[in-house]
Amino acid sequence: MVSVVEGPQTRPLQLGSLTVDIPVVLAPMAGITNAAFRQLCREQGAGLYVCEMITSRGIVERDAKTLGMLQFDPGESTRSVQLYGTDPYYMAEAAKILCGEYGVGHVDMNFGCPVPKVTRKGGGAALPWKRDLLEAILRSVVKAAEPYGVPVTCKTRKGIDDDHLTYLDAGRIAEQAGIAAIALHGRTAQQSYSGQADWESIATLKNHVTIPVLGNGDIWEAADALAMIDKTGADGVVIGRGCLGRPWLFRDLADAFAGRPGQRLPSSGEVAIMVRRHAELLAGLMGEQRGLTDLRKHMAWYFKGFPVGGDIRHDLGTVSSFAELDDHLARLDPALPYPAEVLGRPRGRQGSPRGKVSLPEGWLADSCGLDLELSGAEIGVSGG
């Protein structure tokens, strides 16, 4: 078992044969964690950085768009991919392709997506309710990755809703199946991204299993990560929305876990330099026009809280070339201090809790799912 808290410092995270020096994982986020953003976060101090969620059938069927997501920068010492699917055979075959053909050194599995188009087909956060199917998937992927020496982990939520919790059974099944670690987002599918994450559930899971447990949910600052570790005993943390427009959060986390004094937050000029670096990485990945277009969605996050005029915000949100980007960034006052009012506050999507989680008809009647046809759960899935 991994022990994390040791005075102000922490020990590395051990995932099978894989050692993660800084127990901080960049969560896969659809449309966000491409190779460019992963490199940006790695440069700041992320310990493990996971590719966007990819469907198993897309890999096995050699779908060009799916395989096109499997891009890695040369500095990624461990290629990490999150795999999504509902069929043990396809999940195993996809894992073999990832490990054998793409040099992937860590496979994660998604059982936490709360998106209705996924759960209504029995995928994502709905699937752990079917304990036998969950076990079959976990065992098949572990067996497929074993010859390559690749550790397999999984991520889940507390459950479907407060009346249908699955995380303790999922943890037990994962441990018995040979999973190297389990990450828990302390919300139910019904909560989606609303409300407050339940860190107590992470502590409960930690006391329930002997494999490493990673905590996820409401880590907005480095101090939040230390508080989660202290409160739950988790072996590491998973960072999702907290790093949107703030890749330097991983620098702060690396300092915090090493017991080093924190560095000052960036000024508007230093944020602009980070934006330019992000643009360069995106352009290198997909070309200038596509890369700068992809950067647009990050602008509001980067400059959240800064007193930047609406005209500049609009122009930054419509860039399509380096010339435009440099022109708009030059209009910023580079000396603006980082806005304290946004610290410790949620970033990215939040929304409201759902009245009812969309599920296949009769889904909650029993916990058996091996005989179900769930291939539709992978259609049109891009992440979650």
**What is the average pLDDT value for the chain, to the nearest integer?**
94
| Residue carrying structure tokens 């303790």 | 168
Identify the band that residue 355 occupies on the pLDDT scale cut at 50, 70 and 90: confident
The answer to whether 69 and 286 are in contact (CB under 8 A) is no
pLDDT-wise least confident of 6-15, 177-186, 238-247: 6-15
CA neighbor of 381 nearest in space, from 3, 117, 11: 117
Mark residue 177 as left, alpha or beta (left: phi above 0; alpha: psi -120 to 50; beta: remaining): alpha
pLDDT tens digits along 288-303: 999 999 999 999 999 9
pLDDT tens digits along 101-137: 999 999 999 999 999 999 999 999 999 999 999 999 9
Query: Is a pLDDT exceeding 80 seen at residue 9?
Result: no
Q: What is the pLDDT of residue 162?
A: 97
Query: Is a pLDDT exceeding 80 seen at residue 381?
Result: no
Phi/psi for 109 (5° steps) reads -125, 140
The answer to whether 315 and 292 are in contact (CB under 8 A) is no
Work out the average pLDDT over 90-106.
Answer: 98
Q: What is the pLDDT of residue 6?
A: 40
- Distance CA(164)–CA(189), nearest Å, equals 10
Q: What is the pLDDT of residue 235?
A: 97
- Distance CA(248)–CA(13), nearest Å, equals 21
Q: What is the pLDDT of residue 377?
A: 82
Exposed / middle / buried, residue 371 (Cβ in 10 Å: 0-12, 13-18, 19+): exposed
Residues of the chain above pLDDT 70, percent: 96
Work out the average pLDDT over 15-27.
Answer: 95
The one catalytic residue among 41, 51, 99, 113: 113
Query: Is a pLDDT exceeding 60 seen at residue 354?
Result: yes
Predicted TM-score of the model (pTM): 0.93
Query: Is a pLDDT exceeding 60 seen at residue 382?
Result: no
3-class secondary-structure state, position 298: helix
99 in catalytic set: no
